[in-house]
């Protein structure tokens, strides 16, 4: 069975390493330094790949074919895109991420590359709360603008979660005097119910990412951001992908098996304050 390739949960390959990604695709293989220190080689020849899944907050290098990346990827049977748009781009929280208006403009070109709108899923992730003075701030309400834009393009799937403040992110927030707020469970459910109403209005599908308590709310399904069944149904030849749970992911993650070719050693200059990986912070 051909493999699903993930590029990547660990860093933003498309935005910051398009030359590297294009080079390893052309070479047909890549050596990966995994999180545990294990080094392995991944076969990237088209005959070995079922679907190439690309995660990014900025697909402009691909759209512009920088370093021949779009040409290199065109040899694969299927591309699937996970595009993170939070409404925080350009703010002090996501300092080097494109403004949301610029990100939304990329969607038409990305849809043309994907071939089918179902091959694009938007990650409205994370939903974040913080305080400025005595005022509570959030990106939650950006969802309404996002939903309207997606509906016009026929993009239906949105995945989301509330920010999980891992230890390194909490320490980073304290150093920058960022007063993040982690709402109570009932407040998160109330906010999620609001998202359901807006998604329903625009006929969008809402999935919760690795937070199964949200799937208790009618109108929200647990997410498999990489979903072997979906990728099989979308494949041009109907070829099957693996559907077993990816055991390397978190317990509540519903993703099916894939091979990630990124590395946490590849620091990400997006500089997101909440990042659990290895952001390059100024």
Give the predicted TM-score (pTM) of the model: 0.96
- Domain boundaries 3-260, CATH class: alpha beta
- Evaluate if residue 260 carries a pLDDT over 60: yes
Q: Check residues 159 and 35 and name the one with the higher pLDDT.
A: 159
Domain ranges of the chain: 3-260
The per-residue pLDDT for range 95-129, each reduced to its tens digit, is: 999 999 999 999 999 999 999 999 999 999 999 99
Mean pLDDT calculated for residue range 58-82:
98
- Evaluate if residue 267 carries a pLDDT over 60: yes
The phi and psi torsions of 214 (rounded to 5 degrees) equal -75, -25
Q: What is the DSSP string of 249-276?
A: S-TT---B--EE---TTS-BTT-BTT-S
In the block, tokens 């390397």 appear at: 248
Write the secondary structure of 97-118 as one string of H (helix), E (strand) and C (coil).
Answer: CCCHHHHHHHHHHHHHHHCCHH
The per-residue pLDDT for range 188-208, each reduced to its tens digit, is: 999 999 999 999 999 999 999
Is cis: bond before 101, omega within 30 of 0?
A: no
The per-residue pLDDT for range 126-181, each reduced to its tens digit, is: 999 999 999 999 999 999 999 999 999 999 999 999 999 999 899 999 999 999 99
CA distances from 62 to 110, 120, 277 (A): 9, 14, 23
The reported pLDDT for the residue numbered 279 is 65
Q: Please state, for a pLDDT cut of 70, what percent of the chain lies above it.
A: 98
């Amino acid at each position: 069975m051909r493999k699903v390739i993930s590029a990547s949960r660990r860093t933003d390959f498309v935005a910051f390493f398009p030359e590297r990604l294009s080079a390893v695709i052309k070479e047909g293989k890549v050596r990966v330094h995994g999180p545990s220190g294990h080094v392995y080689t991944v076969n990237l020849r088209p005959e070995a790949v079922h679907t190439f899944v690309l995660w990014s907050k900025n697909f402009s290098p691909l759209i512009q074919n920088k370093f021949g990346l779009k040409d290199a990827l065109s040899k694969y049977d299927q591309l699937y895109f996970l595009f993170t748009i939070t409404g925080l781009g350009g703010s002090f929280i996501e300092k080097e991420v494109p403004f949301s208006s610029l990100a939304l403009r990329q969607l038409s070109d990305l849809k043309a590359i994907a071939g089918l709108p179902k091959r694009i899923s938007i990650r409205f992730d994370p939903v974040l709360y913080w305080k400025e003075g005595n005022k509570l701030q959030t990106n939650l309400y950006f969802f309404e603008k996002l939903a309207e834009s997606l509906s016009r393009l026929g993009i239906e799937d949105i995945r989301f979660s509330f920010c999980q403040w891992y230890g390194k992110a909490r320490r980073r927030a304290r150093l920058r005097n960022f007063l993040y707020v982690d709402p109570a469970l009932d407040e998160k459910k109330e906010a999620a119910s609001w998202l359901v109403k807006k998604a329903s209005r625009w006929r969008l599908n809402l999935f919760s990412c690795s937070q199964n308590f949200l799937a208790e709310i009618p109108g929200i399904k647990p997410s498999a951001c990489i979903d072997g069944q979906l990728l099989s149904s979308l494949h041009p030849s109907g070829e099957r992908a693996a559907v077993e749970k990816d055991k390397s992911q978190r317990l509540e993650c519903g993703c099916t098996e894939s091979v990630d070719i990124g590395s946490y050693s590849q620091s990400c200059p997006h500089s997101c304050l909440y990042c659990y990986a290895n952001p390059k912070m100024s």
